[in-house]
Amino acid sequence: MDGLDTLKAKYLTAVAGASDESALEEVRLAALGKKGEISALMASLGKMEPEVRKAAGANLNLLKDEIDAALRAKKAGLADAALDERLRSEWLDVTLPGRPRPQGSIHPVSQVMEELTAIFGDMGFAVAEGPQIESDWYNFDALNIPPEHPARQEHDTFFMARAADDARPPHVLRTHTSPVQIRAMTAQGAPIRVIAPGRVYRMDMDQTHAPMFHQVEGLAIDRDISMANLKWTLEEFCRAFFEVPSVELRFRASHFPFTEPSAEVDIRCSWEGGQLKIGQGDSWLEILGSGMVHPKVLAAAGVDPAKWQGFAFGMGIDRIAMLKYGIPDLRAFFESDLRWLRHYGFAALDMPDLPGGLSS
């Protein structure tokens, strides 16, 4: 019996001292494995007298069970400790924001269109759209530009090809966004407040002209809208768009067939060291055409000029994008040069809005 107590003490100490699962397995094999010490004693029972064997067998089984229980308890303890250790070392902060790596960038023209939409949206203007292939009635006649009018020549129009026997009215690639005025008023009537950003086409190509470029049209019609509302709206727009505390606009009398009176609008600026600064300085930069919508234009769109009046304006989007973001050559806008797009492009997730800042 003394022998068994010694064995018990030996293995329980070994179990307690095992520092990991493989050390514990070695202890198990040494005691209870096929060639282990306890197993050898079990095998020796066969040679004993039946009376002796009975008592010795019972004691051996007891010892075997005790060592087995100690092994299991230790094994569970080691597994718990291993799990605790993993939980401590392998953690992940699920509250960290993701780190997206967007491919590509937003083109400055798209960015500026979003900025325009945000600013005019804040002033109650909705976005209106029209087709880029337009009938010459919408592009010219309805805007008080009859067929013999010289403005038709000035527009360097692209005409759609037609078979000689095709009787449908001629279509053109729209030369300006002004026809959207007609479409919006015809669809919605008055009062109305819309902007219409989009592509326009003219046969022209040099450093400041491309055959396709972008304009935004503005239109506000109500009972008593005046030039004063036009001036405030444009000042407010320029201040927000160029992100300067104040701007000064100069209205120069001009002529457009679709407005009466008409004005071209310049913004005060300076060119210090080749750097354009909007808002202050001794120079003026022309940024748009505008005026009070001509009664004939209202009538063409089914709006009664005796009851309604308002202003319209048209502005080159590419041009104000060049001015705001210091982009020198218009042609590069449409060359799809990846280096240019990476340099002048905007982050895809950085959509402009007024509270968040337009270009920040």
Positions in the binding site for ligand DAH (CB under 6 A): 176, 178, 217, 256, 259, 289-291, 312-314
Q: How far is the CB of 169 from ligand DAH (least distance, A)?
A: 21
Cβ distance to ligand DAH smaller for residue 236 or 264: 264
Q: How far is the CB of 202 from ligand DAH (least distance, A)?
A: 9
Residue of minimal CB distance from ligand DAH?
314
Cβ distance to ligand DAH smaller for residue 117 or 178: 178
Cβ distance to ligand DAH smaller for residue 31 or 315: 315
Cβ distance to ligand DAH smaller for residue 105 or 178: 178
Q: 268-279: b or e for each residue (b if 16 or more CB lie within 10 Å)? A: bbeeeeeebebb
Query: HEC profile for the chain?
Result: CHHHHHHHHHHHHHHHHCCCHHHHHHHHHHHHCCCCHHHHHHHHHHHCCHHHHHHHHHHHHHHHHHHHHHHHHHHHHHHHHHHHHHHHHCCCCCCCCCCCCCCCCECHHHHHHHHHHHHHHHCCCEECCCCCEEEHHHHCHHHCCCCCCCHHHHCCCCECCCCCCCCCCCEEECCCCCHHHHHHHHHHCCCEEEEEEEEEECCCCECCECCEEEEEEEEEEECCCCHHHHHHHHHHHHHHHHCCCCCCEEEEEEEECCEEEEEEEEEEEEEECCEEEECCCCEEEEEEEEEEECHHHHHHCCCCCCCCEEEEEEEEHHHHHHHHHCCCCHHHHHCCCHHHHHHHCECCCCCCECCCECCC
Cβ distance to ligand DAH smaller for residue 111 or 259: 259
Q: How far is the CB of 177 from ligand DAH (least distance, A)?
A: 7
d(CA 351, CA 358) in angstroms, rounded, equals 8
Cβ distance to ligand DAH smaller for residue 153 or 275: 153
Cβ distance to ligand DAH smaller for residue 198 or 352: 198
In the numeric block, the tokens 């450093």 are attached to 207
Cβ distance to ligand DAH smaller for residue 107 or 202: 202
201 — phi, psi (to 5°)?
Answer: -135, 135
Q: How far is the CB of 145 from ligand DAH (least distance, A)?
A: 10
Q: How far is the CB of 258 from ligand DAH (least distance, A)?
A: 6
Cβ distance to ligand DAH smaller for residue 117 or 175: 175
Q: How far is the CB of 176 from ligand DAH (least distance, A)?
A: 3
Q: How far is the CB of 348 from ligand DAH (least distance, A)?
A: 31
Q: How far is the CB of 103 from ligand DAH (least distance, A)?
A: 36
Q: How far is the CB of 289 from ligand DAH (least distance, A)?
A: 3
